């Protein structure tokens, strides 16, 4: 048997924009055309999946079926065959429970969506998107999120668990991740795990994912600095840095 390298086994996802504005980084992509072009650069740099937040003409996040379709079509034309996921977070207009309505009207489907278990309608939203044939990344921010998740009837129908560390103190973040992992292990979850950090914890949590054999993600949604603490030029620069750590 030929041993696989970490680069071959670890799935690196590029999170291209999130809700970031250009005061965070001038290279944050907004439009469908920009996202398509940025996706091509990120994939060429080594990303194997994409996570994006479609935007409307005002530059703000959107779940509108037309904006979603335009974004997905642009990205898929640029990088055919690369899985593309979208956010469904609570604050995206029209916000709250009302954001389910545009999701119901989607006709161009992402490969998966991220659904945060901290949000009150997570169980209903998981059922909604699974019913449309869309995969689910179950976003867990805390041990209580993990405990809620493992009790859902559709838990094991999800694509993966997304352990999202928001703590800026690395030690605190690692402790949260370990607590979530313990809940999943006790429940016998067989789902793949994608572990990532945010801003100050990005690279430390990325290294933790590498050490544990988990998937991870890197991009301007999560941070704008390279491991050297120098500013990244763009998403592709961040992806190359991540690949260099595992190659």
Residue 237's domain spans which residues? 8-246
For residues 71 and 62, give the distance between their C-alpha atoms in angstroms, rounded to a whole number: 10
pTM: 0.95
Check residue 4 and give its pLDDT.
39
List, edge to edge, every strand of the sheet that includes 112-116: 193-196, 160-164, 135-140, 112-116, 84-87, 49-52, 12-15, 216-218
| Res 162: pLDDT | 98
CA distance 134 to 110: 7
Q: What is the mean pLDDT for each group of 10 consecutive residues in the chain (247 residues)? A: 51 98 97 98 98 96 98 98 98 97 98 98 98 98 98 98 98 98 98 98 98 97 98 98 92
Q: What is the pLDDT of residue 8?
A: 56
Tell me what pLDDT residue 3 has.
Answer: 35
In-domain check, residue 1:
no
2 in any annotated domain = no
Residues 6+ positions from 217 with CB-CB distance below 8 Å: 12, 13, 14, 15, 51, 194, 196
- Tell me whether residue 62 is in a domain: yes
Q: What is the CATH number of the domain that holds 203?
A: 3.20.20.70
Task: Give the separation between CA 88 and CA 69, rounded to whole angstroms.
Answer: 15
**Number of domains present in the structure of the chain:** 1
């Amino acid at each position: 048997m030929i041993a696989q390298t970490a680069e071959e086994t670890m799935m690196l996802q590029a999170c291209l924009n999130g809700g970031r504005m250009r005061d965070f980084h001038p290279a944050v992509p907004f439009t469908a055309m920009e996202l398509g072009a940025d996706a091509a650069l990120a994939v060429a740099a080594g990303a194997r999946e994409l996570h994006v937040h479609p935007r409307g003409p005002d530059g703000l996040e959107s779940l509108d079926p037309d904006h979603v379709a335009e974004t997905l079509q642009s990205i898929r034309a640029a990088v055919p065959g690369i899985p593309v996921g979208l956010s469904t977070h609570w604050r995206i207009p029209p916000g709250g429970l009302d954001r389910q309505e545009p999701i119901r009207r989607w006709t161009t489907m992402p490969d998966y969506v991220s659904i945060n278990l901290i949000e009150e309608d997570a169980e209903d939203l998981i059922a909604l998107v699974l019913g449309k044939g869309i995969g689910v990344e179950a976003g867990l921010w805390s041990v209580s999120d993990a405990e809620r998740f493992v009790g859902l009837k559709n838990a094991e129908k999800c694509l993966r668990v997304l352990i999202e560390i928001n703590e800026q103190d690395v030690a605190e973040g690692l402790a949260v991740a370990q607590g979530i992992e313990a809940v999943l292990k006790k429940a016998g979850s067989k789902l793949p795990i994608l572990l990532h950090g945010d801003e100050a914890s990005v690279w430390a949590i990325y290294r933790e994912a590498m050490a544990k054999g988990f998937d991870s993600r890197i991009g301007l949604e999560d941070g704008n600095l390279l491991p050297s603490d120098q500013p990244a030029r763009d998403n592709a620069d961040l992806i190359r840095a991540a690949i260099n750590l595992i190659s």
